[in-house]
Amino acid sequence: MKTFKLGGVHPEENKLSAGAAIKNLALPKTAVIPLSQSLGAPSVPIVNKGDKVLTGQLIAQGTSFISSNIHSSVSGTVAKVDDAIDASGYRKKCIIIDVEGDEWMDSIDKSPELKSEITLSKADIIARIKEAGIVGLGGATFPTHVKLMVPEGKKAEHLIINAVECEPYLTSDHRIMLEKGEEMLIGTKILMKALGVNKAYIGIENNKPDAIAHLTELSKKHEGINVCALKVKYPQGGEKQLIKAIVNREVPSGKLPIEVGCVVQNVGTAYAVYEAVQKNKPLFERVVTVTGKSVKNPGNLMARIGTPIIALLEEAGGVPDVTGKIINGGPMMGKAVNSLEIPVVKGMSGLVLMPENEAKRMRVENCIRCAKCVSACPMGLAPYLIAQTSEIGQEEMAEGLKVMDCIECGSCAFTCPSGRPLLENIRMAKNKVGQLIRSRAK
Amino acid sequence: MANLLTVSGSPHLHGDQTIKKIMWGVVIALIPAMLVSFWYFGIGALLLTLVSVLTCVVVEFIIQKYLLKEPNSIGNGSAVITGILLALNVPSNLPVWMIVVGAIVSIAVAKMTFGGLGKNPFNPALVGRVFMLISFPVDMTSWPLPIVNRTVLVDAVTGPTSLGVVKEGLAKGDAMTDVMSRVPSYVDMLLGNMGGSFGEVSAIALILGGLFMLIRKIITWHIPVTFIGTVFAFTGLLYLIDPTQYVDPVFHLLAGGLMLGAIFMATDMVTSPMTKTGMVIFGIGCGLLTVLIRVWGAYPEGVSFAILIMNALVPLINKGFKPKKFGEVVKNG
């Protein structure tokens, strides 16, 4: 069975919510919709205080090359455009809407019928995806339409659908495959048309045999789509690792996947593309896994963007007393949040609640040079050495050690028997090397 | 819910490996070798092991508490390992005060001076052993014979090690068959029924411990296999060239401290290279130096010296053999 070769670790899977069907979450009383929900420049608001908005109505526009549109997730009145705490933990510009109901724009096709015929042209598909504000839903939130515009001189050969979901606990992609498999495959077809490729692979780890079987069966109807079962290994959901595992190509250092003829899109993104292109529905809701060992009802919730996470946590049975940490995303790469008021955003794949005893770090001890971090690094770096150069402020050395290749998967810190903060130090080095590179470009 | 949520950088999970687990794992792996040595060499071996471990632990504790004024790390078991390894490397009738000196040198000079666990460039137990070998050459090379000495502490019946017998015999110009008739049978050597440092005698017990460490992922195969393989290949080549001058390779594998050194000393994480290629180079270097010293050097045994010399080269090996980076060699197809 296929997998990537270099490094990798095996965290406990703990997919507690794998069996829980996607449930629609009730609308919040107030929706707080952050203006920066994708990589690149924040969106520019086009509504003012007092404006009436409908569900699916454009409320903020992406104006620069890398940015995305944002739509209202509810119907109601704009209360204000003001700073509020967002998923980053900082106060940032948000559009705050008092919810009055759920009246959808007329242009959206609300019917449940499956629409499998793809009528739009390549250019129209990309325009529709851009208009619908679709971004990478795996967590990276890179605007999808930008990824579909293949640069001059490059050629896309393969579309790879990332259905790995290698983060422990998370199951939102898994549920979409089981419940929205047909729609997701049509979404894949649409993406193939947009890229002009005739081959697509869906990479799924073999800890999800039901999804593999289901999609293998469904994909028989769709020419060119192959389901590719992969051996479980973290971080297989990393773009570079996934491309290596499926088509055995290595994206060169500092380059994008298109360099080796590949474009990678997440399962959730493929489903959102189906809804946008076939049903004209913008991205204003997503599946969020709410889980944790002490959570009463771990589940997968279809939540509107802007819903405060406390509503999701209550739906899952409340926040247990022992909770010490709440993670936005998976436990390997997600961010710990500092408030229960932060809203659901496009990039929020899950909320993981950790008990206090697991939330604390172990005592940091001397590096015993066991080389486990070196063996674990999927990018073939020497994490212990980069972390050391960072500690003593030698950015040039860190740059020479290819610190910018680090994908921040956390395998090094996960495996370190001395509990050293390897990734923190590496992130610091990345930050400083980034500044160094930018200052040279000037 | 706690009043305040913990906020920290990812990853929020940690694997199950800790220094404690690794170090106590090594101690467990050493148990078969200790049991065999107690069986053959009796109370002498037991007493030396206890004194050695105790000295190592106490010295580390005192240095951390009174000199460095830092929290003690006795619980992680690394001083215990040094104590055991040091004891396994000496003859069982060694005067007790000598191993106390060796243990002090191991911990105080070779380990704590550099900053404690993880910072020492040389294997502490080997530094202690070599210090004793140079300081007390007679006591360190009079090897009590197994079993007959079980209940004797001093004045034991002693004899040279197999390697010593061979080296001396060949130096005197005795015929190879004559020399080999004076060393124990290979079966005895495999089980440990021979004279020598009391922990290095049983190859089987040591290999058992090595397998345990492999399964627990405390060590990788690279260093032991290349080390032992190089000794076998090099001595095998010499044997093919002239069997009347050079002993056969199986003898070299079973005699002396090769198994103990290759499995437990050369694999010490702190003092071995960080990449797989580096480990292979390290293992081959240890093997070559061992044979050079055994065959042409002044000492009959060369494992300790070989590992220490290679320890010194580790920083250079780490510089020269970096891990293979992803996307560095573009080979697409």
Of A11, A371, A421, the CB nearest to B274: A371
Comparison of pLDDT for A302 and B204, the residue scoring more: A302
Is A391 among the domain residues?
yes
| pTM of the shown model | 0.90
Residues in contact with B206: Cβ distance below 8 Å, sequence separation at least 6, in sequence order = B32, B33, B200, B259, B260, B263, B264
**Do residues A67 and A152 both lie within one domain?**
no
Q: Does A422 touch chain B (CB under 8 A)?
A: no
Residue A199 has what pLDDT? Answer: 93
Of B76, B326, B330, the CB nearest to A6: B326
Interface contact flag, B325 A338, Cβ < 8 Å: no
Mean of per-residue pLDDT scores for chain B: 87
Task: Note which residues in 218-247 of chain A have CB less than 8 A from chain B.
Answer: 240, 244
Say how far apart CA B178 and CA B189 lie, in whole Å: 18
CATH code, domain with A321: 3.10.20.600
**Do residues A339 and A406 both lie within one domain?**
no
- Give the tokens for residue B194: 């021979």
Of A319, A410, A419, the CB nearest to B10: A410
Q: Does A384 touch chain B (CB under 8 A)?
A: yes
| pLDDT above 50 for B251 | yes
Residue B152 has what pLDDT? Answer: 53
Is A17 among the domain residues?
no
Domain with A416, as residue range(s), is 372-441
The order of strands in the sheet holding A299-304 is A22-24, A299-304, A285-291, A350-355, A323-328, A335-336
**Do residues A128 and A264 both lie within one domain?**
yes
**Do residues A351 and A391 both lie within one domain?**
no
Residue B273 has what pLDDT? Answer: 95
Inter-axis angle of helices B203-215 and B19-62, nearest 10? 120
Q: Residue A56 in contact with residue A105, Cβ under 8 Å? A: yes
pLDDT one digit per residue (tens) for chain A, 442 residues: 899 989 999 999 999 999 999 999 999 999 999 999 998 899 999 999 999 999 999 999 998 889 999 999 999 999 999 999 888 888 999 999 999 999 999 999 999 889 989 999 999 999 999 999 999 998 889 999 999 999 988 999 999 999 999 999 999 999 999 999 999 999 999 999 999 999 999 999 999 999 999 999 999 999 899 999 999 999 999 999 999 999 999 999 889 999 999 999 999 999 999 999 999 999 999 999 999 999 999 999 999 999 999 999 999 999 998 999 999 999 999 999 988 999 999 999 999 999 988 888 888 999 999 999 999 999 999 999 999 999 998 988 999 999 999 999 999 999 999 999 999 999 999 999 999 999 988 7
Looking at the structure of chain A, the number of domains it has is: 3
Q: Which residue of B has its CA nearest to A365?
A: B19
pLDDT tens digit string along B115-166?
Answer: 899 999 999 999 999 999 999 988 887 777 776 655 555 445 566 677 777 7
The residue-averaged pLDDT of B242-260 equals 87
- Could you state, in order of their start, the residue ranges of all structural domains in chain B? 19-139, 153-320
**Do residues A251 and A264 both lie within one domain?**
yes
Report the alpha-carbon angle A159-A108-A53, nearest 5.
115
Mapping DSSP to helix (H, G, I), strand (E, B) and coil, where does residue A436 land? Answer: helix
Is A149 among the domain residues?
yes
User: For chain B, what is the radius of gyration of the CA atoms?
Assistant: 21
Residue A213 has what pLDDT? Answer: 96
Residue B333 has what pLDDT? Answer: 45
- Give the tokens for residue A278: 């076939």
**Do residues A273 and A291 both lie within one domain?**
no
First and final C-alpha spacing in chain A: 47
Q: Which residue of A has its CA nearest to B272?
A: A369
Say how far apart CA A196 and CA A123 lie, in whole Å: 11
Q: Residue A287 in contact with residue A176, Cβ under 8 Å? A: yes
Is A190 among the domain residues?
yes
Q: Which of B1, B7, B13 is the best substitution to test chain A (most A C-beta atoms within 10 A)?
A: B13
The position carrying tokens 């697991």 is A358
- Please, is A194 exposed, middle or buried when counting C-beta atoms within 10 Å of its C-beta (0-12, 13-18, 19+)? buried
CATH code, domain with A204: 3.40.50.11540
Residue B92 has what pLDDT? Answer: 84
Contacts of A418 in chain B (CB under 8 A): 19, 118
**Do residues A173 and A224 both lie within one domain?**
yes
Say how far apart CA B58 and CA B62 lie, in whole Å: 6
Residues in contact with B189: Cβ distance below 8 Å, sequence separation at least 6, in sequence order = B162, B183, B201, B203, B251, B254, B255
Which letter does DSSP use for residue A344 in this model? P
**Do residues A295 and A211 both lie within one domain?**
no
Bridge partners of A135, per DSSP, are A143
**Do residues A272 and A295 both lie within one domain?**
no
Measure B137 CA to nearest chain A CA, in Å.
33
For residue A147, give the nearest of A48, A62, A66 by alpha carbon.
A66
Say how far apart CA B43 and CA B32 lie, in whole Å: 16
**Do residues A324 and A309 both lie within one domain?**
yes
Contacts of B325 in chain A (CB under 8 A): 253, 379-381, 402, 405
Of B270, B322, B325, the CB nearest to A369: B270
**Do residues A252 and A144 both lie within one domain?**
yes
Q: Does A360 touch chain B (CB under 8 A)?
A: yes
Say how far apart CA B81 and CA A269 lie, in whole Å: 54
Say how far apart CA B212 and CA B215 lie, in whole Å: 5
Q: Does A91 touch chain B (CB under 8 A)?
A: no
| pLDDT above 90 for B209 | yes
Q: Residue A411 in contact with residue A377, Cβ under 8 Å? A: yes
**Do residues A134 and A264 both lie within one domain?**
yes
| pLDDT above 80 for B184 | no
Interface contact flag, B325 A244, Cβ < 8 Å: no
Is A252 among the domain residues?
yes
Residue A267 has what pLDDT? Answer: 95
Interface contact flag, A336 B7, Cβ < 8 Å: yes
Residues in contact with B202: Cβ distance below 8 Å, sequence separation at least 6, in sequence order = B32, B33, B36, B37, B40, B190, B191, B192
Of B6, B14, B276, the CB nearest to A414: B14
Is A15 among the domain residues?
no
Say how far apart CA A240 and CA A221 lie, in whole Å: 29
* ipTM of the prediction: 0.87
Is A258 among the domain residues?
yes
Is A33 among the domain residues?
yes
DSSP calls for A26-37: PPPSEEEEES--
Report how far Cα A137 is from the mean position of its chain's Cα atoms.
4
Residue A390 has what pLDDT? Answer: 92
